[in-house]
Structure 1
Amino acid sequence: MNLLLADLHKFVGYSGGIEHVLSRMAFAMAERGFTVSVVMADEKEGEPFYPFPDSCHFYNLFHMAGMKPVHMSALGKGLREVTRLFSQEGARDRNYKMLAAAAPQLEKVLEREKPNVIVSFREPTGRLLLEGLSTDIPVISMLHNDPDEIFAHSPANEKRALEKSAAVQALMPSFISKAKKYLRHDHLVYIPNAVNIPDLTADPGQDRRTYTITNVGRITGRTKRQHLLVEAFSLLAKDFPDWQVELWGDTYDKAYVATIKRLISKNGLEDRVHLRGTTKDMAPVWQHTDIFAFPSHHEGFPLALTEAMGVGIPAIGYKSCPAVNELIHDGENGFLVDDGAGPLAEALRKLMESPALRRKMGQNAQESMKPFAPHVVWDEWDRLIQEVGKKIELRFE
C-alpha cells in the first residue's frame, strides 16, 4: 500500500513536535511494509530536522524539481498579520490562500506517488487536499492539539473540509467529544502518540553534586510558558543552592526568548537557569534530570513530557492543561497544580526536598507510560490505515 504523509509546514531546521511524530510514523510504517512518501512545504531549501527512511520519497512543495518555486509574498504575510489583529479566522483563511498557491505541486506529488491513503498532519493541509483539490484519495486527518484550541477560531470552510476525511484521529479520549462539537463526523478515532523511550532508566533519587529541573519545548509564551518555571524557581533558588534549571527547545520566538533572558537576569539566575537550544540526542538530558517541569497552557499529547516520564522522571504540570491533566496522575507519578508560579514552586519544593519521593514517583511515571509503547500505537495506526484503504477499494469495485 502506498502511504503519503502530508504536513504543509516549514521543516528546515525546525524541531516541532508534529514534525517529530511525522518522522517516527514514516519509519514505523516503512518497517511495516508500506511504501511511504512525505510532502512538506518550506520557503527555505534544506534538510528536515528529523530524518526519514532512505526508501522514502521526500518533497518540498515550495521547491519541486521542474516546477517554479512557490513563495508566500511579503504583502500577503503582512495582510495576514494585520488581519490577525481583528480576526484569527480571517488570518487562517489568508494563510490558506497563500498555501493553496502550491496546489499544482501537490497534484504532481499525488500523480507520481499514487497514494492509497493520505495522512494529513495539519488542518490547512487537509483543507487543501479535501477542498482545494477535492481528492478521492482517502485522507485521515490528525488533530495534534486540544480540539477547543484547534477549532475555536477555525474558518468554517476548514471544518467543512475536514468533515470529508475518511477518519479523524484525536490524541486523547476526552478529545473525541470535544471534536464532535465542531465536526459532523462519524469516524473519530482515539490513537495517542507513541512514546519513544530511550534504552535507559533515570534515577532522579540519586545523590548528585548538581540537581536539575528540566523543561523541553519551544521557548514560546502562549503555549509553553517557560517564564512561569523561571518565576517559580526564583522563589526557591536561595533555599536550594545545588539546583539548576535547563530549558531545552527552539528559540525562534525571539521576543519571548528576550523576555525569558530579562527575567533570568532580573532574578540573578544567570548561573542557575540555562537556555540549551535543541538536540537530537535526549538520552544525556534525561540521565541528569531530577524533575520535569511543564507549565504549558494547552497540549495535544506532549512528547517531551511522556518521554521524561517514560524514563522514570517525576513531572509537574497544571490541572488546567488539557492532555497534561490526563497523563500526570496527581500524587502518583507527579503533581498537578493550580495555575501560576506559586503553586508550581510549592510542588517543586516537595520533590526537591525528597529524593525518595522523586524516585517513587519516577518509577510510577515509567509504569504509566507503557500503554503508549511504540509497537502498540503503530499497530493501531496500521489497522486504521488498512481499514480506510480497504473501504475505498470496496467502493470502487
Structure 2
Amino acid sequence: MNILFLTYGHVSKMRGGIDRVTDVLARSFITRGYNIYMISVCKPHKGDSSESYQYILPKESILSQENTQYLSDFLANNKIDIIINQSERIAIFRLILQVKGKTPVLSVIHTDPLSVVKGVRDNWDYWKLHEKRWKFLLLSPYYMLRTILRYYFRYHSIKKHHKYFYENNDGIVLLSEKFKEPFLHLINISQSNKLFSISNPLSYQQTRNIEKYQKEKIVLYVSRLDYSPKRLDRILKVWSIIGNHVGWRLMIVGDGPDAILYKNLAMKYQLRNIDFMGQTDPSPLYKRAQILCVSSTYEGFSLVLTEALQYGVIPVAFDSFESVHDIIDTGKNGFLVKPFQINYYANILKSLMFNDNLRQQIQMNIQTDTSFFNRFNINHITDEWNDLLSRFIKK
C-alpha cells in the first residue's frame, strides 16, 4: 500500500502537534510494510529531522501550476493508493482535488470542530487585558458589537469550510468520537457514513515504570506561547491566587509571539517561583514534574495531556473541549475544571500541591491504569487506521 501524507508544515519528530503525530504514525505504518511518502508546503527549519520519504512542493504559492504538475506526477509515478490530508487549509485541499483523479482522500481535522467559534471569547479577553479599565468600560458597547459580529461570521465561515470538506472528501477523520455530534450539527446532517474518529497516539515509546522517576515540586506548563487558544494568562492568574507556593515552582516550556506579553504579565502580578524555560525538549521535565496545567480555550487532542500521563504527571485542565474526556477521568487520573473558573482551578491546583496523600493516590491511579496505555498505544491506533484504510483501497 502506497500512502501519501500531505501537510502544510514540514514533519519532524523534533516538533509537537500535527508534525509529531504524523511522524509517529508514518513510522508505525512503515513497520507494517506500507510505503510512506510525505509532501509538505513548508521547508524544514533548522534542527528539524528529515527522512528519505519526505518531499517539498516546488512553490510556496500552493495553487501554482508548478505545484499542480508536481503533485500530479508524484501520484502517478509512485502509484499512490490513498492520500491522507493533514491540513485544514482550503488551498491545500483544492490542490489535492485538482489532481487526485480516482485516488481516495481522507482529511483529518486536528482541532475542535467549533474551534474558531469558541475562540471568539479570547478576543474579548484580549481586548480587556490590553485596554485600561476605564477605556474598556467606555468602549464596551463597541467591543460587544465586534464580538457578536465576529461570532456570526466565524460560525458561518467554519460551517462553510466543514461542509466543503465533508462533501468533497471520501472520509473525514476527527480526533474523538465526541466531536462527531457537534460536527454533524454544524453542517446540518443527522448521521453519516463518511465521518470517522481516531485518536492521536502516545508521543513517546514509554514504559509504565513511573516510579523510577525522582519527582520534584514542579508544576509544568508546556505549550506554544501564543494568546489564543492556549491562554497561559489563566495559569499566571492561578499562580498569583495561590500566592504562597512553599517550595513549588511553575516551569513554563515553550516560546512564541506572546512570550514577552506573558513575561510582562508575570512581572505585573509580581509572581515568584516561576521559570520561563523557552523552547526545549519537555521530556526531562516530565520526568521531574508532578503536575501539568493546561488552560486552553479549545483543543483537538491535547498531546501534552497524554505525554504528561506517560510520565506520571497529574494533569489539570479546563473542561473546554470534548476530547479531554477521552484522556482525563476527573478525580482518578487528573482533574477537569468548569470553563473558565479561575478560582476553582486555583483551589484544585493548591490541593494537589499541598495534599501529599491526594497527589500520591492520583499518581498510583495513573501507574495502574492499563486501559490508558492500551487505548492510545501506537499499535492500537495503527490498527484503527489500518481498518479505515482497508475500506477505501481495493485489494
Give the TM interval when normalised to the shorter protein: 0.7 to 0.9
Following superposition, the deviation at residue 166 of structure 1 comes to 2.2
Rounded Cα–Cα distance in structure 1 between residues aligned with 2:8 and 2:268: 40
Unaligned 5+ segments in structure 1 are 65-69, 72-97
- Equivalent residue for 1:372, pick from 373, 376, 391: 376
Contact 2:213 2:287 in 1 (8 A): no
Q: Which amino acid aligns with 1:263?
A: L
Contact 1:314 1:333 in 2 (8 A): yes
Rounded Cα–Cα distance in structure 1 between residues aligned with 2:277 and 2:203: 21
Following superposition, the deviation at residue 130 of structure 1 comes to 4.8
- Equivalent residue runs for 1:200-219 within 5 Å: 201-202=209-210, 208=216, 211-219=217-225
CA distance 1:324–1:266, shift in 2 (3 Å): same
- Equivalent residue for 1:189, pick from 193, 196, 204: 196
Unaligned 5+ segments in structure 2 are 118-154
1:243 paired to 2:248:
yes
CA RMSD of the aligned region, Å?
2.8
Rounded Cα–Cα distance in structure 1 between residues aligned with 2:112 and 2:285: 28
Contact 2:72 2:100 in 1 (8 A): no
Rounded Cα–Cα distance in structure 1 between residues aligned with 2:213 and 2:285: 16
Contact 1:201 1:312 in 2 (8 A): no
Following superposition, the deviation at residue 45 of structure 1 comes to 5.4
Contact 2:215 2:287 in 1 (8 A): no
1:260 paired to 2:262:
yes
Three-state SS of the structure 1 residue aligned to 2:348 is helix
CA distance 1:264–1:23, shift in 2 (3 Å): same
Segment of structure 1 superposing worse, 338-347 or 348-357:
338-347
Rounded Cα–Cα distance in structure 2 between residues aligned with 1:207 and 1:38: 39
1:159 paired to 2:124:
no
Q: How much identity, in percent, do the aligned residues show?
A: 24
Q: Deviations over 1:30-61 (max 9, x none)?
A: 1110010101111x555673x46x5x421111
- Equivalent residue for 2:73, pick from 105, 108, 113: 108
Q: Deviations over 1:221-250 (max 9, x none)?
A: 11111111111112224x22311111122x
Contact 2:203 2:307 in 1 (8 A): yes
Q: How many residues align?
A: 346
Contact 2:26 2:36 in 1 (8 A): yes
State the TM-score, normalized to the length of structure 2.
0.79
Who is 1:80 aligned against? none
Three-state SS of the structure 2 residue aligned to 1:147 is coil
State the TM-score, normalized to the length of structure 1.
0.79
Contact 1:2 1:34 in 2 (8 A): yes
CA distance 1:113–1:47, shift in 2 (3 Å): farther
Who is 2:387 aligned against? 383
Q: Deviations over 1:175-220 (max 9, x none)?
A: 1122223456522112111113423644599774xx1101112112
Who is 2:352 aligned against? 351
Rounded Cα–Cα distance in structure 2 between residues aligned with 1:11 and 1:171: 19
Contact 1:9 1:41 in 2 (8 A): yes
CA distance 1:130–1:179, shift in 2 (3 Å): farther
Who is 2:53 aligned against? 57
- Equivalent residue runs for 1:244-393 within 5 Å: 244-249=249-254, 251-253=255-257, 256-269=258-271, 272-280=273-281, 282-338=282-338, 339-366=340-367, 367=369, 369-370=372-373, 371-390=375-394
